[in-house]
Structure 1
Amino acid sequence: MLELRHRGGCPGPGGEVASPPHEGEAAGGDHETESTSDKETDIDDRYGDLDSRTDSDIPEIPPSSDRTPEILKKALSGLSSRWKNWWIRGILTLTMISLFFLIIYMGSFMLMLLVLGIQVKCFHEIITIGYRVYRSYDLPWFRTLSWYFLLCVNYFFYGETLADYFATFVQREEQLQFLIRYHRFISFALYLAGFCMFVLSLVKKHYRLQFYMFAWTHVTLLITVTQSHLVIQNLFEGMIWFLVPISSVICNDITAYLFGFFFGRTPLIKLSPKKTWEGFIGGFFSTVVFGFIAAYVLSKYQYFVCPVEYRSDVNSFLTECEPSELFQLQSYSLPPFLKAVLRRETVSLYPFQIHSIALSTFASLIGPFGGFFASGFKRAFKIKDFANTIPGHGGIMDRFDCQYLMATFVHVYITSFIRGPNPSKVLQQLLVLQPEQQLNIYKTLKTHLIEKGILQPALKV
């Protein structure tokens, strides 16, 4: 390793590596050069072994304690470990789904708080793994800076959301107007303060390791905060864009587990030995059918299909609108082979149901790769689960590892194929402008409508 790190160096009589002579110096170099080389060699001897660490050198993390409620342990004590785990997972899955329905009933704001809470918990679980692995090195300020950067990034993203969707509310508050106007500068200044604190915390013994953990924190922020921000952006497009993708991933997770549990014989991927082709294929077909049906049911209700808007006059989020064509029944001609089977020429569907096929297909074919990625991550650090928050399931991150890929796909799908101009958002932006600017826009718009023949020109008296 020393020979690779000292380019051009060659071993001396005692195995010591000497630096090559510089231009204009004797072959032996002067005393100052030798002293500098000795110091660098000494540093690399003592601290350079971090680059050569293999997976087997990673410190093992103590296994998490079992947090299964005692009442469940007693009720399932006579079962084998396989069936005991099946029942625990099943009972807690139904409990979580019930709580999720309750939060949906409580409205969009509670769903946003749920997303924020899940984001913070996932960040905590991943950062804790890094801290446990490297805590023996006593890195200064690691956890403090990690949480500080989480605060900074959330301030940036949610400030952007506030400026986009709460413009009329911001207009009435002078303090908020200042924060929104200089939001990006303030966000950058906050991040810059954390960056400087990190540089000041560098310790000569742990340079490489500290930069490893700096990257660890930023990748974790990318995985958790950015994706949760996209989830909330999807929610503002209409609750249906939040519920169908998320429930499709949940459906795929459950049905793939059930098909694999009862029929699984053929291993799917080495990273996750319990995953089988039978579970993967069964989960795919089940998820597509579920997504199609869920899209049909939810498309009937304004509560789910209307964009989420904040009304400052009533100080609450409202989901009232005239549903777009995407959520209005349309007649579609059937292919010839289906006409013979169903004995009908056309079928009535919501256009969103067709989009739901794309969403559920991604959830069942590509979404699981988020879980495979998480499995590889856990194997690298010799852990079974990210945490033990949910008995039988592991940590929150174990349940939402596929959701983050899904959130990005839905956001890209909406912006690419669905989203058009949003009149409500344009109006909110207009209301923030100065009166002179608003008047100029009014005159321009009026002239444009007259030229189009939509408005009649004013009669001159």
Structure 2
Amino acid sequence: MEKDGGVSDAESKPDSGVPDVPATSDDTPEVLNKALSGLSSRWKNWWVRGILTLAMISFFFFIIYLGPMVLMMIVLCVQIKCFHEIITIGYSVYHSYDLPWFRTLSWYFLLCVNYFFYGETVTDYFFSLVQREEPLRILSKYHRFISFTLYLSGFCMFVLSLVKKHYRLQFYMFGWTHVTLLIVVTQSHLIIHNLFEGMIWFIVPISCVICNDIMAYMFGFFFGRTPLIKLSPKKTWEGFIGGFFATIVFGLLLSYVMAGYRYFVCSVEFNNDSNSFTVDCEPSELFQLQDYILPSVLKSLTGWTTVKLYPFQIHSIALSSFASIMGPFGGFFASGFKRAFKIKDFANTIPGHGGIMDRFDCQYLMATFVNVYIASFIRGPNPTKVIQQLLALRPDQQLYIYNSLKAHLTERGLLGALEEAA
């Protein structure tokens, strides 16, 4: 619609770039409202959060039972919901200026980025499946070119959508979309990478963050007196310290239980014989009990000289420490974001908890750390992946590699020694 002089509403409205987002409403189920009506708001919130937390933990155990591929789909669903919650905040501003294509382009870029990351993951972890199927082999070969072409199309659509006098706001929202993609999609992609290394690398870090969140809340609720940070006035030092020690103990116990099961410690692989995804292997030394000599202080306290532990439990201390010390900064970052836009929660999806993003703000930071930790201290060369890639080469290329490897082993004296031993 145009006003006098042929000036549209979009052009006449000032380009402030500051969102005016309505506050979220109380969406606590009526059943809980009635049951808890006699309690103060503080205790009512405590019970609502507790009941919903138990429900979410039960659902978490259920999807673990369903297996890694279902977990991957759940991660994708969570990613989409988190993206939706953040983009909706921006859209409430952008839509008020009646400017075109923001929501369409945001979801289009989400599709492009997911196509790129999931394509890379499938090619990396399930190379034999990709090489077996002709359509997948073609998509894999030209994957990056297709991904770039898709993104370039979206880039051109954005340029064509620019409206006079609102360039600043439109570029602001373009940056909003890309930062959201960086935070949400990239981190969820790393979570899936961790999952494929073995479900224990997915479950233990996530559980440590959940444990720290719960225990910090509990210690803060009952003992909290000293404010921790201005961004989150309800966070206290008592909760922070209590959550730290509780999470370390929880991580050690959970790791001990899970490290004894192949289902949790083996990486996800595609079995050509059964034509299915499998989780079965011979556990590495990381998941085999070993004797550790206790420090003198612990010897005097416990009377034990040695203790049997899984090496993974030692690594779990690093994971628990990060979840307790650095993980909360993801929540502080989200709190600062919400304060900047004058909202209480990202959404009202979960009563007493806010939106999905409110529950996963710390998880994304944890996912990056776990991925870096595995690459730096755990993962080594994978002979299985190398062999799969060699089998995909032409026969002459395979022979060249065979002769080169044979000459190298002979030169080092290894091949002759092996032949003599045989």
Q: Is the 8 A contact 1:239 1:305 kept in 2?
A: yes
User: Aligned to 2:297, which of 337, 343, 350?
Assistant: 337
Q: Is the 8 A contact 2:194 2:370 kept in 1?
A: yes
* Offset, 1:47: 8.5
Percent identity between matched residues is 75
Report 1:28-427 matches (<5 A).
Answer: 50=15, 58-427=18-387
Which string of whole-angstrom CA distances, capped at 9 and with x for unpartnered residues, describes residues 271-321 of structure 1?
111111111111111111111111111111111111111223323221111
Is the deviation greater in 340-349 or in 270-279?
340-349
Q: Is the 8 A contact 2:130 2:137 kept in 1?
A: yes
Is the deviation greater in 237-246 or in 74-83?
74-83
Is the deviation greater in 123-132 or in 430-439?
430-439
Structure-2 separation of matches of 1:320 and 1:159: 24
Q: Is the 8 A contact 2:216 2:240 kept in 1?
A: yes
Three-state SS of the structure 2 residue aligned to 1:265 is coil
Task: Give the aligned CA root-mean-square deviation in angstroms.
Answer: 1.9
Structure-2 separation of matches of 1:334 and 1:180: 51
* Offset, 1:251: 0.3
* Offset, 1:354: 0.6
Structure-1 separation of matches of 2:146 and 2:30: 49
Structure-2 separation of matches of 1:198 and 1:226: 22
Structure-2 separation of matches of 1:120 and 1:445: 46
- Specify the code of the residue in structure 1 equivalent to 2:18: I
- Specify the code of the residue in structure 2 equivalent to 1:417: F
Structure number with larger C-alpha Rg:
1
Structure-2 separation of matches of 1:320 and 1:343: 38
Is the deviation greater in 100-109 or in 160-169?
160-169
Give the structure 1 partner of residue 414 of structure 2: 452
Structure-2 separation of matches of 1:363 and 1:409: 9
Three-state SS of the structure 1 residue aligned to 2:292 is strand
Three-state SS of the structure 1 residue aligned to 2:418 is coil
* Offset, 1:83: 1.0
* Offset, 1:374: 0.2
* Offset, 1:446: 3.7
Which string of whole-angstrom CA distances, capped at 9 and with x for unpartnered residues, describes residues 180-228 of structure 1?
1010001000000000000000011210000000000000000011000
* Offset, 1:230: 0.5
Is the deviation greater in 367-376 or in 433-442?
433-442
Q: Is the 8 A contact 1:47 1:206 kept in 2?
A: no
* Offset, 1:48: 11
Structure-2 separation of matches of 1:281 and 1:47: 53
Structure-2 separation of matches of 1:343 and 1:83: 43
Three-state SS of the structure 1 residue aligned to 2:352 is coil
Give the structure 1 partner of residue 4 of structure 2: none
Structure-1 separation of matches of 2:403 and 2:336: 60
Uncovered stretches (5+) of structure 2, i.e. residues with no partner:
1-10
Structure-2 separation of matches of 1:274 and 1:420: 43
Give the structure 2 partner of residue 437 of structure 1: 397
* Offset, 1:49: 6.7
* Offset, 1:67: 2.6
Three-state SS of the structure 2 residue aligned to 1:455 is helix
Q: Of the two structures, which has the highest relative contact order with CA contacts closer than 8 Å and spacing of 6 or more?
A: 2
- Specify the code of the residue in structure 2 equivalent to 1:92: L
Uncovered stretches (5+) of structure 1, i.e. residues with no partner:
1-45
TM-score, L = length of structure 1: 0.86
* Offset, 1:68: 2.1
Q: Is the 8 A contact 1:168 1:431 kept in 2?
A: no
Aligned length: 409
Structure-2 separation of matches of 1:316 and 1:103: 19
